[in-house]
Structures are given as structure tokens and as C-alpha cells.
Amino acid sequence: MTQPEYKLLLDVLAIETYSRDEDQLIEFLLAFFAKHGIRAWRDDIGNVYAEKGEVGTYQKYPLVVAHTDTVHRIHGNEIIPKKLLLPNYAGELKPALKGFDANDKPVGLGADDKVGIGICLMLFLRQPVLKGFFPVQEEIGARGAGKVDVSFLQNVGYAIEFDSPANTSSITLGGFLMYNPEDESGLGRIWTDLLLEFSEKRDTEFSLEQHSYTDIVKLRPHFSCINVPVGYYLYHTTSEYVVEEELFMALDLGEELIKRAGYRFYNDAPHPSASRLITQFALHTMEITGDL
């Protein structure tokens, strides 16, 4: 992550946004895309759509996703991200960002999911061809994603959301399988192979989890979806923080996933047991880290 990208992240984290009171972040997004010559617009409910570049006749866009609301009420006394040493998934102290107000009182950082917003914007600066979907009101039932303009999805091949806590990736949301690692031609195979490679090369760990919901649960009927771990902890509290090296890795994971998945359509085959897929992935991870 470059210094300008890091500053962009801090700018996003400093914005106050709350479900049904998201205009400040929505206007920030529209101004960002206008500044960089990227076509973007909002719909009646407030969802923001963005489109950069063009795909070929038989190609599909990658779609990046992050929601614009947080659970933290707007207090009007600033959100100042400060760097502290806080535990990662393994309990190791790492540089992390935590929110404070102008009086140095801890406040909700809103890393869920402003970190995802920041990563998506960085990918728009890095990628020549990309679509983005930034839905409102995720925290109160993924209402914005439920009202997505389906015509916007017609030339999309797959979705990558940046909204999974700590080092976890949602393999199911609300009981629905987002991807299938056993589908040889599926997005899930590309994704889990990538996680295993990063586990080995960067001496880290990931886990597949069954989570309740986020926006992509509304998009999965159209194509395969991935939820990338972005390194936030104690979310929905005033103690929330994000581990920097994990959010940096989320950006790298997203960029590499787009590179490997390309401009194709994916609709992974169903699987009878998400629990078995989770167990098998854990066993592969243990083999790579030498725990067996």
C-alpha cells in the first residue's frame, strides 16, 4: 500500500456514517469517482454504482463490494484513527488503527465496513477494468443490496466483498454457499488456492466460516461471490480496531484474485456440506503450516 493509498484509507475511516444516515460517505464516493474520471451514480435508496473501462464481447466485469453504513451513531465530534499495538487473530501485538474523538475518547472506528470501502477505491485506482457496488443499510438487513439494480449485474462475472472479520472468509452467508472449493472450474478453487499460498508465503493463517449475512448474499443468485478477510476486530463496539498488515493483505488478496479470475463468469456448483469444505480447508492449512 502506497502512502497516498494509506492517506485515502485514513480519510475514509474519518467519515461518520450510520444506517439511513450515510450521505457524507456517499458524497465522498461520488466525488472520488468524479475526480478520477470514473463513471458513478447513486440510485433512489442511496446505493452507489461505479464502472471503469470496458470488457470485450465475451468478457465479464469483476465487481468489488463494500457497504456504506456502520452501526455507530453520528456524534459530530470527529473520528481520528490512531495507531496502537493491538492483538491479531493469534494474539500477537501488531500495529493497528483504533478510533478516538476530538477529546481523545474511544469511539467506534467503523472499520466494518469503511476499511472495505477504502480497499475498493484503491482497486479502482489500480485496475483498468472494474465495477463497484456500494450498498446502503447493510447493518439493518442488507436492504440496499436487496434493491440492487439487476441490470447493472448483467455483465458481471463474480463479486468480491471486503467485509469479513479478522482472518476469516465467509464460505456461507445465511446458509447459502458463496463458492465451492471442490468445483475445479469455480471461483472457490481459485480463492482457496490463493489463501493457502498466502498462508505459506506470508506465515499467516485463514479460516473459512459460516457467517450470518452481508451484501453478497443478495448477489449470489447471479454469480459466485467471495468475502475477503480485512482484519477488523471487536466490530460493532467502541473498542473496534483494524490490524494494518491484515488490511494490507486484503488489498493484495483482492488484486491477485482479480488477476487470476480474470474477466470470466463464475457460478460455482452446489455442495452438500459446507462443514466438510471448512474442515478440509483447515486440514490443508495445518499441512502447510507444519502442524501435522
pLDDT at 280: 84
CATH no. of 3-289: 3.40.630.10
pLDDT of 287 reads: 53
Give the pLDDT of residue 278.
Answer: 85
Q: Is the backbone of residue 252 left (phi > 0), alpha (psi -120 to 50) or beta?
A: alpha
pLDDT at 276: 87
Of 138, 169, 137, 131, the closest CA to residue 153 belongs to 131
Q: Which residues of the chain have pLDDT under 50?
A: 288-292
pLDDT attached to residue 291: 45
pLDDT digits (tens, 9 = 90+) for 97-131: 999 999 999 999 999 999 999 999 999 999 999 99
Exposure string for 67-99, b = 16+ CB within 10 A, e = fewer: bbbbbbeeeeeebbbeeeebebbeeeebebbbb
pLDDT for 184 equals 94
Quick check: 50 and 131 in contact, CB under 8 A?
yes
Predicted confidence at residue 292, as pLDDT, reads 40
pLDDT given for residue 242 in this prediction: 98
Q: Are 68 and 12 in contact (CB under 8 A)?
A: no
Is the overall model pTM greater than 0.75, yes or no? yes
